[in-house]
Amino acid sequence: MSDCSKNLTVRTALKKLEDRMFITSKYNGYNRHGEQVAAGLFLLLIQPKSNYQWVNGHYIDVNGDAPIKAIVRHSSFSQFGHFMMGSCRIHGERIILSGSYGGDGLPCNVPKQVYDSWGIVLPDELRAAWNNGGGWNDAGSEATAMRKWALDNLSELRK
């Protein structure tokens, strides 16, 4: 792949990152080393970390049926190889992010106390759209609806 093709691929990925993950963009572009960077208000999907307990002779994840929640936080992303990685804080807890929704299209696993205290449950219609959106390591066809919902509910999602 030529350098021109690689740069076009990186620019396309950066635009996709901005359109699909950031609710608002503070900046995006390249740093002095030629690596892509982006920052702004970012939509995360969250779920509690797995908590396996011994029940009736086998282990089960007692957090396994928790609904997916959403939260918006300011985050900054930088290029690491082929990946855009970043982090944010949810009331003192640092969350490592990668790609759409923080988990390359999947929810981020957060401590139970963060999950219980923050974020709002994703509406059923958005959850269904996310399940059927076709995203693979990325946001799918639901991205536009997800972003619109986040903008409409920004004050609640920023708490």
Domain that holds residue 35: 3-157
Cα gap 159→156, rounded to integer Å: 6
pTM beyond cutoff 0.95: no
Res 59: pLDDT: 83
Res 10: pLDDT: 54
Tell me the CA distances in angstroms from 34 to 12, 16, 106, 111, one per residue in order: 15, 18, 28, 35
| pLDDT digits 0-9 by tens, 4-47 | 555 555 555 555 555 557 888 888 888 898 888 889 999 999 99
Count of domains forming the chain: 1
Q: Average model confidence (pLDDT) for the chain? A: 83
CA dihedral defined by 159, 124, 25, 9, rounded to 10 degrees?
150
